[in-house]
Each structure stands twice: as structure tokens, then as C-alpha cells.
Chains A and B, each alone.
Chain A
Amino acid sequence: FRTLFMLQVENVKLLDRYTNRKAANGTLYLTATHLIYVDASAEVRKETWILHHHIATVDKLPLTTAGYPLLIHCKNFHVAHFVIGQERDCHEVYTSLLKLSQPVKPEELYAFSYNPKMSKENREIGWKLIDLKVDYQRMGIPNDYWEITDVNKDYEVCNTYPPEIVVPRAANKAVVIGSSRFRSRGRIPVLSYLYKENNAAICRCSQPLSGFSARCLEDEQMLQAIREANPGSPFMYVVDTRPKLNAMANRAAGKGYENEDNYDNIRFKFIGIENIHVMRNSLQKLLEVCEMKSPSMSDFLTGLENSGWLRHIKAVMDAGVFLAKAVKDEKASVLVHCSDGWDRTAQVCSLASLLLDPFYRTFKGFMVLIEKEWIAMGHKFSHRCGHLYGDPKEVSPVFTQFVECVWQLMQQFPCTFEFNERFLLEIHDHVYSCQFGNFLGTCHKEREDLKIFEKTHSLWPFLLQKKQELRNPLYRGFTAYRELQPNTLPFSFQFWCGMYNRFDKGMHPKQCVLDHLLSCVSQKMKLEDSASELENKLPFLDGPLPSEACSLSKVGSAASKTPMLNTPQDYEGEPPPALSNGASAGDIDVMSDGDQKHKENLPRHQDLRDLNVTIDILDSEAKDGEPQHH
């Protein structure tokens, strides 16, 4: 490696769920940004890269005959099980990783040192790629009822909102300021999405500081203004996305929810989505299921049920569907909040927008959606994703759940998104990687204070350059589908193996349809794409672009032409497994070489492994005639 490494340790094994003690010895390197494991034992050198920021926990496991084990759990669900020969080395790696994975100050984050070859102008253009004003214009705003106001330009109204927010014209400054004093953190009702076809709006805010009986004239006027901005409907919905019990408990703390008696013509509704602590625990349980070695079908399904994970995904989806239906079918505006209006509220509003508007299902549109509902409107990314050393109780997979809801929609509507699953996974990776400035901090003001826009890069141009691999070959275009009405019966929700068992290649289909179809599409689309890319005025790296022709030839070339090699797993269902997994040579995982330095890399070309162990297992079986079932 040309990069300097801080630590180099020999005699390290990397185990996976299928390896036995015969795992090869390799070398572990620690750089300032990554952990890199190199296995040079076979003909093909294998590298495994783990970004320090991606590390969630490092645990020392009890000593085994093979050495000193270290178990690393990553925030993108990669689990790395190392066994280190020397105790002193193990301890040194352990303490180093603990420190490297938990930076204390924002300035220590990768984004501030990440320095690709790019001119200053292009970096700045990158930040301007997404302009929220353009999206409001697309909705027809400003119009007779709604305006973009700069009343918050100095964050006087709300310090976690962006400087420019959309409010009803009828709501004057006094109403805005008054309402902000009656809302948790000053997060007043503002527009999230306007459904042009019938003037119904999705608005969002935080909980009112109503306690048991407090009222606020300005807040009531604010809601009235929102309702009257939609003359086509006699009422509006106010949706509290918390379970009723939680919302009621908040009243004792001087907060709570809207009293229908005090607000004219509102229909109040609870749609219970559990809080961040429940979600954190749910994910933890789900990951335990994913890590089980050779579970039975029963173990897996019971574990899945007990985690509650899909139940929560469904709850978020149900809420999004409710909002979309209210707007489209009932033509009624909806005001959504949770407690502080930046967890469940963000999930539900962005999901509803996606269901209603095909623009948000395009590359550009999805970026706009995230910039608007998550980044601009504030979301505690730094806390929820554990960017810095802090309170573990603040960590919660809120954004992950939103991304999963999008994936669930992709399963039901395969032709309706311009992008594919990999796009979602890349975004998810980078929410945690801190390589780009978009997701640092908690709100716009904080990003300004940290000088994100001067010192870091935006994720979006980086992703747009990889469009060829991230597109959906089945996309039928912008006008093919309008509103989506997903089936939300329980059986419609699938377990997302590509996310939660992403790195267990043996579990996934052995042949990659996506790559094959991408290569079918690419020839045709190439011309169309260059045209639209010029439109987007993409910043280009000063250095040569990763050669498109090169990555195209990788994409899909192996898919159907070369016969697929794979090897059997252990069909005994027993640990320790005797046979290698199915993910051997021929595994088609497309990543252009340029990515390797900046993201996790996975062993791609594994050799067929030695399979003489079958005999041992079968022999021991037949001795007593009893099946070796778990």
C-alpha cells in the first residue's frame, strides 16, 4: 500500500459463517481511515476494507485454539470475525479500533480530510446540484396560497429548520412567531409537499406544548391558514405518528397533541409508530437472527417475528399510505408530527411524497427528497447514526427504516423507480461513512457552523457518476406510473436479505439478473444518458473519469456467457460446517476499481475450496444411523 498504515499485524484469520479452522492466514492493516485485511495465500489476492466510521462495536471473544478472536459489527451490517495470533496484537487492534471508530469532535470526521482530485469550482457546483427552490417551483410554489418565506433566515423562528420554509400566505409573521412558541423546539407547521392536482398539502411540525389545557391562538390560526389554503376540502387531518399512550404521557411534561375542540375543522388521528428506543432494540434482535449460524426455518421465522422489525416497517408504510390516500382520494390536507417532528415525521412525509409523485422516484428526485425532508428539515443524523462518541440511547435506525420502505416498494413495483437497490445501499453506506458532508450534524445551521459547504464534498455528484450501475433496467419512465398504492397486508413485506445479510454472499441468488439486464440496457441508454447528464451540469473530476466502457464490459459480461461455478454449502445443517458456501468463483459483484479505496471491498474471486471433509461428516453420520440434526 502506498498509504501509510498505522498498524500492521500478521497471522490474522478472517472467518465467515462457513469457514472452519482451515481459514488462511492474512495480514491486518490499520490506516487513518480504514481497516484493511489482506489474504495473499491463494492465487488471487483478497482484500477486505472496513471504514472506521462504519464500525459500531468491537468485541473481544473468549480465547480459542486458533487464537484471539475479535468480532467487529458494522453499521452497514457487515460482521467481521477475525482471529489474531498474538494476544498483544489483538489488544492493540482492539484499543485502536475503539478509538478510531468513535471520534469525539466533528472535525475528526472523514469528510474533512477526504480529498479527491477535484477543482474548487467543481466541488462548489456539487453542493449546488440540488436546489430545493426548484422543487417548490415544480409544485407551483409560490402561488396564491403558499409562499417561501425567509422569516427564519437567522434561525429566529426555529434553529433546526432551514432559512427558507414554505408557509401559507395567510399566515403572517405574528402567527408564525406565535406558533413557534407553542411547538416543541419551535418546529412550526410548514409545507412538505403540495399535491398540485387538488391543492391538498402535506405539512409537518412537532408536538404542541399543550400540556393538559394550554392553547395558543396563533397556532390555531396557523392550522386554519393551512386548511384554508385548500379550499376544496372542508377539513384537514392532523396525524400524530406516536402511539396514543406515548402522546398522552407527553402531556404531563407540558407537551402532547392537538385537541380537536380547540382547532376548527380538524380530524385528529393517531397512527402508532414506536419510538427510537423500540426501533433500536428491534434492529438489534433482527441482526441477532441474521447472525444465527445455520438456523432452522422455524428459528428464523420465530426470530423475525420476535424482533418485530417487519411490524414496524409496516407501521411506517401504513402511515405513508394513509397520508397519500388522504391527499389524493379525500383531497384533504394533512399535518403530521411526532414528538420533535424529525424522526417518524420525516419517514412518513418523505414516503408519502414518494407514493404520490413519480419525480421522487427518479435519481434527481430522490436526492431532492432526502435533501428536503431529512437534511434541510433537520434530522439528528449525527446522533441516530452514532457519528461521534455520544449517548448510545440516541442511536436508532430511523433512516434505515425509510430506505427499507423504499426497497419494499421496489419489490412490489419493479418498473417504477429509476434507480436500483444498490443506489439505496450506497446512500445508506454514506449516511454512516461521514465521507461526505451532507449527513453531518443535525440541521442546516449546524452545517453552516461547521463550514460543511466550504470544507467537504457533496455525495450526490459522486453517486450520479455511477449511474450506470445504480440504475434500474426495468424502469418504464417517468409517466408510466403516477400514484403508487402498495399492498400493505403482512405478506407483502419481505425480509431484505441484500441489506441485513448483505455480506453473506452465499445466501443471495447465485446469478445476478441485474447486471445482465444493465448490460442489455446500457447500449441503448448510453446516448440518452450523455444528453441528460449535460443537462444536470455534473461536476467532473479533473482526472480521467472511470472509463465507462471498462465498467460496462464488467457489467453483465460474465452473467450468462460463462457457466456459473458454485459450490455446495453444508447441507447437514450443523456447525462447524464441513463444506464451503455457494458464493465462490464466478460471483459477479460489480464495483469499478476507483471505488476500492473509498469503500468496503469484498472478496470477489474465491477459489473452489477443498471439499474432502464431506467424507468425515458422512462417515460419522452412518456410524449410528442417526441424523446429525440440530
Chain B
Amino acid sequence: MLRSSQPLTGPNRKRCREDEMLLGTVLGEGERGFIIDTRSAQAAKQARMTGGGTEPKSSYLQWRRLHRPLERGRPLQESFVKLVEACNDASNNMDRWLSRLESCRWLSHVKAALSTACLAAQCMDREEASVLVHGAEGTDTTLLVTALAQVILDPSCRTLAGFQGLLEREWIEAGHPFHLRCARSAYSHARLKQEAPLFLLFLDCMWQLSRQFPFSLEFGERLLLTLFDNAYASAYGTFLCNNEKERRESTHSLWACLNQPGEKKKYLNPLYSPNALVIWPSVEPQSIQLWQGLFFRWIRSSQYLDEAWAEIQRLAESN
């Protein structure tokens, strides 16, 4: 699986032999690959006007391009803000709640992200074909897809250590601009241009996977919530910057803290049992739920659910 940013084809359909060769070397004789473009075909076409674009078919003969538009940027941030507003609506009216849940479209984005990641995974696992994923910049929806696809495909990414490695590789080192994306979160009126909850969307998809495969992740919801918190406001430097270049040596790593034996235990999933297989989630609407542990965290008591988890822990340990 490869990732990149968009090719700079431009309005004049420029070619780049080196790029073609690079992609050519990935595939063997007679093999084919898939390019998953996370923009709509129309958006990708329009990108040519500003110097970007898509890989022209004639120059990349072995590659088939698929478009799977995923929301990003301002619209995604709006979706998030509207959801949080809906959750805090005290009007006690069921129709209003369902209407707001639908119109904010957050769960639609979750479904789309999981579907696209599954598609990428299918290409590799079922078609045994290589996959190139890119959107425009290669720093947002691209990473969402490649990271999720790896969790789906690779059992080692589902271990605590493996997941940390995945985050380091696919989000931090890959250059997701955390500083810009996670500047203020949903309650702010600032509406910053660069803000977008891609990382949260990723964590939400991870939560959906943990719900559908409760035995297959070595970590639990608590880790996901901690990562969410730290992406937005943290004592650690892990999510502080926009890319490797900006990273400073003088901060502490979140991982160092989480991995201490006393701390680590809190984040482990008591039901974990290594699953060597690929995990294919269902993306039917009935299978995707609103992440209550995150969105209702401060709105309703979690006492009874916490007690249930304590019971599960107790039972699993005594086994």
C-alpha cells in the first residue's frame, strides 16, 4: 500500500517520467494496481485548474483509478460542530434529535471512511493488488484510509505497541498537521480555516471496529479517548506539531507515559485475544453507532457502564 499527494498534472496534462517509473516499479510484469483517490472525480478534475489533477490513464496503464470522495476540511469540521450541538440539545424531542443526527452527517462520514478503508484492504487481500491512496495533499483523508486499512488487514497493528507504531508512521511522521487540525475543537467559535477532525474520525472508526470485533484489539475505548484528548490539548509533545520538521526534542512523548506498566494496564482490552485474520467490518447503518463514550462523555453519567466494564475485567481475568 502506498500513499502520496496528488500528481501535478495541471491544465496541460503534464507528464512525469520519473513518477511513472516509480509507480511502474511497484508492480510486477502483468500485475495491476489500484489508485484510490479520496476526492470525487469532479473535484479531482477541477484540481487540474490549480495545478493538481489525476494520473492520466494512458501513462499509468497498469493502474486503475477509483474515486471514493471523503469529506475533509471545513465541511468535516462543520459536521463535527453540528453533532456536538445536537448532543447538547436539551429539547427532549426524539424527532428533532434524529433529524439533527442525520443532517450533521457525521455517521455518514464514518461509514464512508470505513467503506473506503475496506475497499483498499479488499484490493490487497482479495485481489492481491497493490494500492496507491491519495487525495489532494496526502495529509488528511489519505492517512485516514491507509491507517484504517492496516488495522483491518494486519493483526500486529491491533496490538498496543503496533497501534502506537501505526500512529507514529501513518499520522505523525506522514505529516498530518495536528497543530492546525486540532487547534480548538467543537466548542470554539473561531472556525479556523485549517481545522478539521480527521484524527477524531479515525478514532471513531477505530471505536466502531472495537465494537464489531470486541476481542481483536489489544486496547480499549479508554486509549482512544486519551488519544483524542491529547490531540487537542496535551502535556506531551507527541501531537503538538504539523510535521517531522517542526518536531522539537525538548518535549516528552505520550507513549513513554502510556507505556509505563502501571498506566498501560488501564488501556488494555480485557477481552483481547489475538486474531490472525483480516477483520471485515459491516458498514450497514445498523452496524455503525454514535460513539457515546466520546460525544456524551460530559453529558451523562458513565457510572453503570464503568461498572459493567469492571465486571467484564473481573470475569476475563478470573478465566
The interface of chain A, by Cβ under 8 A from chain B, is 290, 294-302, 304-305, 308, 310-311, 314, 412-416, 473-474, 476, 487-495, 497, 501, 504, 506-511, 513, 516-517, 519-521, 524, 559-561, 563-569, 571-573, 579, 581-582, 611, 614-615, 618-619, 621-622, 625-627
Beta-carbon contact of A560 and B273 below 8 Å: yes
Whether B284 is near chain A, meaning CB under 8 Å from some CB there, is yes
CA distance A619 to B318 in the complex (A): 52
- Return chain A residues, CB-CB under 8 Å to B308: 414-415, 474
Whether B307 is near chain A, meaning CB under 8 Å from some CB there, is yes
- Contacts known (A520-B319, A625-B41); A495 close to B307, Cβ less than 8 A: no
Of A295, A299, A563, A615, the residue contacting B276 (CB under 8 A) is: A563
- Return chain B residues, CB-CB under 8 Å to A611: 126
CA distance A294 to B287 in the complex (A): 12
Beta-carbon contact of A627 and B66 below 8 Å: yes
- Return chain A residues, CB-CB under 8 Å to B121: 568
CA distance A511 to B301 in the complex (A): 27
CA distance A118 to B111 in the complex (A): 52
Whether B98 is near chain A, meaning CB under 8 Å from some CB there, is yes
- Return chain B residues, CB-CB under 8 Å to A295: 284-285
Beta-carbon contact of B64 and A294 below 8 Å: no
Size of the chain B interface, CB-CB below 8 angstroms: 72
Whether B148 is near chain A, meaning CB under 8 Å from some CB there, is no
Q: Separation in Å of the A578 CB from the closest CB of chain B?
A: 10
Beta-carbon contact of A510 and B212 below 8 Å: yes
Beta-carbon contact of A561 and B273 below 8 Å: yes
Beta-carbon contact of B93 and A490 below 8 Å: yes
Residue of B nearest to A621 (CB): B66
CA distance A313 to B63 in the complex (A): 52
Residue of A nearest to B277 (CB): A563
Beta-carbon contact of B286 and A582 below 8 Å: no
- Return chain B residues, CB-CB under 8 Å to A567: 280
CA distance A611 to B215 in the complex (A): 26
The interface of chain B, by Cβ under 8 A from chain A, is 34, 40-41, 64-69, 87, 90, 92-99, 101-102, 105, 107-108, 110-111, 115-116, 118-119, 121-123, 126-127, 211-216, 271, 273, 275-277, 279-290, 292, 296, 300-301, 304-305, 307-308, 311-312, 315-316, 318-319
CA distance A559 to B275 in the complex (A): 11
Q: Separation in Å of the B273 CB from the closest CB of chain A?
A: 4
CA distance A495 to B216 in the complex (A): 24
Of A294, A296, A413, A564, the residue contacting B275 (CB under 8 A) is: A564
- Contacts known (A510-B279, A561-B273, A563-B275); A614 close to B122, Cβ less than 8 A: yes
Residue of A nearest to B90 (CB): A489
Q: Separation in Å of the A301 CB from the closest CB of chain B?
A: 4
Of B68, B102, B287, the residue contacting A301 (CB under 8 A) is: B102
Beta-carbon contact of B94 and A310 below 8 Å: yes
Q: List 9 A-B contacts (CB under 8 A).
A: A297-B110, A414-B305, A474-B311, A504-B286, A507-B284, A510-B280, A516-B271, A559-B273, A582-B281
CA distance A123 to B172 in the complex (A): 68
Beta-carbon contact of B215 and A305 below 8 Å: no
Q: Separation in Å of the B87 CB from the closest CB of chain A?
A: 6
Of B66, B127, B211, B305, the residue contacting A615 (CB under 8 A) is: B127
Residue of A nearest to B276 (CB): A563
Q: Separation in Å of the B35 CB from the closest CB of chain A?
A: 9
Q: Separation in Å of the A534 CB from the closest CB of chain B?
A: 26
Beta-carbon contact of A297 and B288 below 8 Å: yes
Beta-carbon contact of A513 and B102 below 8 Å: no
Residue of B nearest to A505 (CB): B282
- Contacts known (A487-B300, A491-B290, A618-B66); A569 close to B311, Cβ less than 8 A: no
Q: Separation in Å of the B201 CB from the closest CB of chain A?
A: 14
- Return chain B residues, CB-CB under 8 Å to A582: 280-282
Beta-carbon contact of A511 and B126 below 8 Å: no
Beta-carbon contact of A493 and B283 below 8 Å: no
Of B95, B96, B212, the residue contacting A308 (CB under 8 A) is: B95
Beta-carbon contact of B215 and A490 below 8 Å: no
Residue of B nearest to A416 (CB): B304
Q: Separation in Å of the B215 CB from the closest CB of chain A?
A: 5
Beta-carbon contact of A473 and B290 below 8 Å: no
Beta-carbon contact of A622 and B284 below 8 Å: no
Beta-carbon contact of A564 and B215 below 8 Å: yes
Beta-carbon contact of A565 and B271 below 8 Å: no
Residue of A nearest to B110 (CB): A297
CA distance A69 to B116 in the complex (A): 34
- Return chain A residues, CB-CB under 8 Å to B311: 414-415, 473-474, 476
CA distance A565 to B66 in the complex (A): 28
Beta-carbon contact of B118 and A491 below 8 Å: no
Beta-carbon contact of A565 and B277 below 8 Å: yes
Beta-carbon contact of A298 and B102 below 8 Å: yes
Of B41, B110, B115, the residue contacting A573 (CB under 8 A) is: B115
Q: Separation in Å of the B21 CB from the closest CB of chain A?
A: 22
Q: Separation in Å of the A39 CB from the closest CB of chain B?
A: 23
Beta-carbon contact of A296 and B68 below 8 Å: no
Beta-carbon contact of B283 and A571 below 8 Å: yes
Residue with the greatest number of chain A CB neighbours at <10 A, chosen from B121, B126, B277, B284: B284
Beta-carbon contact of B280 and A413 below 8 Å: no
CA distance A284 to B283 in the complex (A): 24
- Return chain B residues, CB-CB under 8 Å to A561: 273
Beta-carbon contact of B118 and A571 below 8 Å: yes
Q: Separation in Å of the B314 CB from the closest CB of chain A?
A: 9
Of A491, A504, A565, A573, the residue contacting B296 (CB under 8 A) is: A491
- Return chain B residues, CB-CB under 8 Å to A619: 64
- Return chain A residues, CB-CB under 8 Å to B41: 625-627
Of B93, B116, B127, B271, the residue contacting A513 (CB under 8 A) is: B271
- Return chain A residues, CB-CB under 8 Å to B97: 489-491
Q: Separation in Å of the A320 CB from the closest CB of chain B?
A: 16
CA distance A566 to B96 in the complex (A): 37
- Return chain A residues, CB-CB under 8 Å to B282: 506-507, 510, 569, 581-582
- Return chain A residues, CB-CB under 8 Å to B65: 622, 625
Residue with the greatest number of chain B CB neighbours at <10 A, chosen from A567, A582, A619: A582
Q: Separation in Å of the B165 CB from the closest CB of chain A?
A: 22
Beta-carbon contact of B304 and A414 below 8 Å: yes
CA distance A294 to B40 in the complex (A): 21
- Return chain B residues, CB-CB under 8 Å to A415: 304, 307-308, 311
Residue of A nearest to B42 (CB): A626
- Return chain A residues, CB-CB under 8 Å to B123: 618
CA distance A626 to B283 in the complex (A): 21
- Return chain B residues, CB-CB under 8 Å to A492: 300
CA distance A615 to B123 in the complex (A): 9
Of B69, B118, B315, the residue contacting A473 (CB under 8 A) is: B315
Of B95, B115, B271, B305, the residue contacting A311 (CB under 8 A) is: B95
- Return chain A residues, CB-CB under 8 Å to B126: 568, 611, 614
